[in-house]
Structure 1
Amino acid sequence: MSWPEPSERVRELISRCAQAALNAAPEWITDMDNATLSAVNMRAFADDPELRATVSRLNRANLLHWVTANIRDPGMPVSPNLDPEPLRIARDLVRRGLNESTLDAYRMGQNTAWRKWMALAFEATSDHEELCELLDVSARSVFGFLDTTIAAVWAQMRLEREELTRGNHAERRETVALILDGAPITRQRAEARLGYHLDQHHTAAVVWNPDPTADPGDLERAAEALARTAGASRPLTVIASAATLWVWIPGPHAPDPSRLQAAMETIPAVRVAIGPLGQGLDGFRRSHLDALTTQRMVARLHSAQRVVSFEAVQMVSLLTQDADHADEFVRNTLGDLAFADPDLRASVLVFIQERCNAARAAARLYTHRNTLLRRLARAQELLPRPLDDNVVSVAVALEVLNWRGAGV
């Protein structure tokens, strides 16, 4: 296809706009992420912290690829983005059972970037002819760039699908999906396809690495550590994406989070969300769904915890479904204590957990009783209501803060 070279003046304007876009890239990427994830067919990405991060990296990679190309050679065709990130997301899409139509959601992110680009263009010149040429050249460039990039990702998805269907991963993933959806597959048929007994106790877990480029062997090592801490045989694992494993641990004993934390010292980037112990097909399904809920809560609250069980966060998960209301509850309940030193907040929470027994709380905190009493007196000064009048609400609010990565 012929590509008429823009005028020197428009090349100058495009270069100037591209530099402004580069400077504003963080804000643009946030808005592109929100637009992309709002699409109905992107729900699987919006609910999954690893895939949300992948979407953001892809938007960033595409934006910077196009912008830097137009700084380097303004107004000329931009080659498709064939860097590792777009090709990695193709693998994730296929492994999640999603098809090529999901990529259409990226046009929503493109539309957001295009509106911001038009605003820059209108700021760059008030000359009607210059503006028309600038927008025409930019539109051909950006839409052509995205079309060729999406076509390349489509092609990679086809290759990934062919590769998966040559092994047993696709069958295992499909069987698990049928069980989770409550489809009418018999237990015997499912067991034959999975090589795993379903009529037993099991504990589900989600094992993931926020960095999709990390060694996938780390996920397998974490899954094996899970099984060891539960005294179980080899677990059932299903590849959910490039950096996520779905795991089921057979046996009547759930993994011990504290032992698992110690066992994972050599694989520091991996994180684990553990569901409750379940039995049979229903327990297989319920434990997995609760593990997913736990993973999403950890991501939603930006928690620094690496090993988290559903039992530990069930109440906090319910309370924080509405983030704004949760923040309001914490602020209204704790007042200035919400912003106090974490050690002070931890002392109050342990005191409540020990049924307001100062001696037991001090022993658990490895501190002197008088030191604890001074901390409690300081907390009373910061709380909007006396602790004795609001013990339950204060404990819940402190639990919320305990699982958050940052303050209110």
Structure 2
Amino acid sequence: MSWQSPSPRVRELIRRGAEIALTPSADWLAELDAATLSGEARRQIAADPVLAAGTRRTNRSNLLFWAASNVRAPGEPVPANDTEAPLAVARDMIRRGLDESALDAYRVGESVAVRMWTQIACSLTGDPQELRELLDVSLRSISAFVDDTVGAISARMRAERDELTRGTHAERRETVTLLLEGAPITRERAESRLGYRLQPTHTAAIVWTEAPDADLSRLDRAADALAEAAGQLRPLSVIASAATRWLWVHGRPDGDRARAALDQLPDVRVAVGSTAPGVDGFRSSHLDALTTQQMLTRLTSPSRLAFHHEVELVALLTADPEGADRFVQRTLGELETAPPEITETLRVFIAEQCNATRAAARLFTHRNTLLRRLARADQLLPRPLAQHTVEVGTALKVLQWRGHP
């Protein structure tokens, strides 16, 4: 594309606009993230916490890269953004089995960015001629920048795909994929390729981090700790992406030991599936771990460790997030925003089958204190607790995993 430098006045306007774009508002970023993670074509990316976090980082990286370039050299062509953020997302997409069609998110982000930049441009000048030249130059710049960046990312994805088709890791990932898809591979053949027995009882887990600068060796330490919590020497571990491991261990990990180990590994999160035998158990446990991970992401839960049996009901209920929000609001009423000690007391009371003595002991509080809190909770509920105990308990579990209390 031939490129003609803009007039000095428009160069100055572009520089001023780029300075504004370097400090985007939270609302702009939220709109950009929502657009690039919405729609059926991007559903798999949005449901994966690592890919979703990477997409949000890439949105910011692209925005700041283009803006910074135009502060330095306003109105000049901007090279492709081949920094670590977009390249890391490209690598992870390939390891998730996605192809270049996933880069559609860049085009969606471009349309949002163009609208935001147009608003900035219109605030810089009221002269029609200046505005026309400013928009002509800058919008061509944005389009070329996105085209070149998508081209660079596509090349990185092709290289990553070539790398993954070679070596031991590729064979292990391919074998696991065949098992998860129910493809015709014999158990003996799969066991030989994985070095892992498929007949015993399995528990699958997903270990990941969303932190951009995390120590990735902690993922492998968390995997080993989960195996130790199940009484095993080592897990079957597959690199699903740079920041994600898929694991299987024989038996069931002890929750307390797993939590204690995870306390020593900041930024690492673990979703643990069900426990079941054989090839079918290998598959179903992984799907349950994936459901657990997606629920944590959907609810933006702060919890770093979750077992499927703990969240199965909440995962089913929150598969429709808006419906779940309405259910919580209708069921809890004013209790939804009550102090944490009130909601936690009621949740534990219901979990202990409405036995006040056991609930007080579990909460390490005096029974009279517990009864006062329960009375306050009953006042805040739209209906008396005795009339819909199951519904209230379920709504409180949603709050618990949503980070409240």
TM beyond 0.5: yes
Give, in angstroms, the shift of residue 297 of structure 1.
0.7
In structure 1, what is the Cα distance between the partners aligned to 2:379 and 2:301? 28
Give, in angstroms, the shift of residue 64 of structure 1.
0.9
Q: Does 1:86 align with 2:89?
A: no
Which residue matches 1:110?
110
Give, in angstroms, the shift of residue 225 of structure 1.
0.8
Q: 8 Å contact 2:350–2:389 — kept in the other structure?
A: yes
Aligned to 1:400, which of 387, 398, 401?
398
Indicate the RMSD between aligned Cα atoms, in angstroms: 1.9
Aligned to 2:330, which of 315, 329, 332?
332
Which residue matches 2:202?
202
Q: Does 1:248 align with 2:248?
A: yes
Q: Counterpart amino acid of 2:383? A: R
Which residue matches 2:169?
169
In structure 2, what is the Cα distance between the partners aligned to 1:217 and 1:296? 23
Which residue matches 1:263?
261
- The 5 Å alignment of 1:1-400 reads 2-250=2-250, 253-400=251-398
**Count of matched residue pairs:** 405
Q: 8 Å contact 2:268–2:304 — kept in the other structure?
A: yes
Q: Counterpart amino acid of 1:59? A: N
Q: Counterpart amino acid of 1:35? A: A
Give, in angstroms, the shift of residue 139 of structure 1.
2.3
In structure 2, what is the Cα distance between the partners aligned to 1:237 and 1:318? 27
**Residue segments in structure 1 that go unaligned for 5+ positions in a row:** none
In structure 2, what is the Cα distance between the partners aligned to 1:338 and 1:54? 32
TM-score by length of 2: 0.94
Give, in angstroms, the shift of residue 25 of structure 1.
4.5
Q: Counterpart amino acid of 2:380? A: L
Q: 1:347 to 1:298 in 2, by over 3 A?
A: same
SS class of match (2:306): strand
In structure 1, what is the Cα distance between the partners aligned to 2:375 and 2:34? 44
Q: Counterpart amino acid of 1:101? A: S
Q: 1:377 to 1:105 in 2, by over 3 A?
A: closer
Give, in angstroms, the shift of residue 75 of structure 1.
0.9
Q: 8 Å contact 1:257–1:308 — kept in the other structure?
A: no
Moved more, 10-19 or 85-94: 10-19
Moved more, 309-318 or 338-347: 338-347
In structure 1, what is the Cα distance between the partners aligned to 2:162 and 2:388? 60
**Residue segments in structure 2 that go unaligned for 5+ positions in a row:** none
The runs of at least 4 aligned residues of structure 1 exceeding 4 Å deviation read: none
Give, in angstroms, the shift of residue 406 of structure 1.
4.8
Give, in angstroms, the shift of residue 255 of structure 1.
0.8
Q: 8 Å contact 1:87–1:153 — kept in the other structure?
A: yes
In structure 2, what is the Cα distance between the partners aligned to 1:372 and 1:31? 44
In structure 1, what is the Cα distance between the partners aligned to 2:17 and 2:359? 60
Moved more, 385-394 or 154-163: 154-163
Give, in angstroms, the shift of residue 127 of structure 1.
3.6
Deviations 1:303-359 (A, max 9, x none): 121110000001111111222221222122112211111111111111122222211
In structure 2, what is the Cα distance between the partners aligned to 1:318 and 1:12? 55
In structure 1, what is the Cα distance between the partners aligned to 2:390 and 2:43? 35
Moved more, 14-23 or 267-276: 14-23
Q: 8 Å contact 1:212–1:242 — kept in the other structure?
A: no
Q: Counterpart amino acid of 2:320? A: D
Give, in angstroms, the shift of residue 126 of structure 1.
4.5
Give, in angstroms, the shift of residue 84 of structure 1.
1.3
Q: Counterpart amino acid of 1:239? A: I
In structure 2, what is the Cα distance between the partners aligned to 1:373 and 1:274? 35
Q: 8 Å contact 1:257–1:307 — kept in the other structure?
A: no
Give, in angstroms, the shift of residue 39 of structure 1.
5.0
Moved more, 209-218 or 220-229: 209-218
Q: 8 Å contact 2:340–2:404 — kept in the other structure?
A: no
SS class of match (1:168): helix
Give, in angstroms, the shift of residue 182 of structure 1.
1.9
Q: 8 Å contact 2:272–2:292 — kept in the other structure?
A: yes
Give, in angstroms, the shift of residue 189 of structure 1.
2.5
Give, in angstroms, the shift of residue 118 of structure 1.
2.5
In structure 1, what is the Cα distance between the partners aligned to 2:355 and 2:44? 46
Q: 8 Å contact 1:94–1:160 — kept in the other structure?
A: yes
Q: 8 Å contact 1:205–1:275 — kept in the other structure?
A: yes
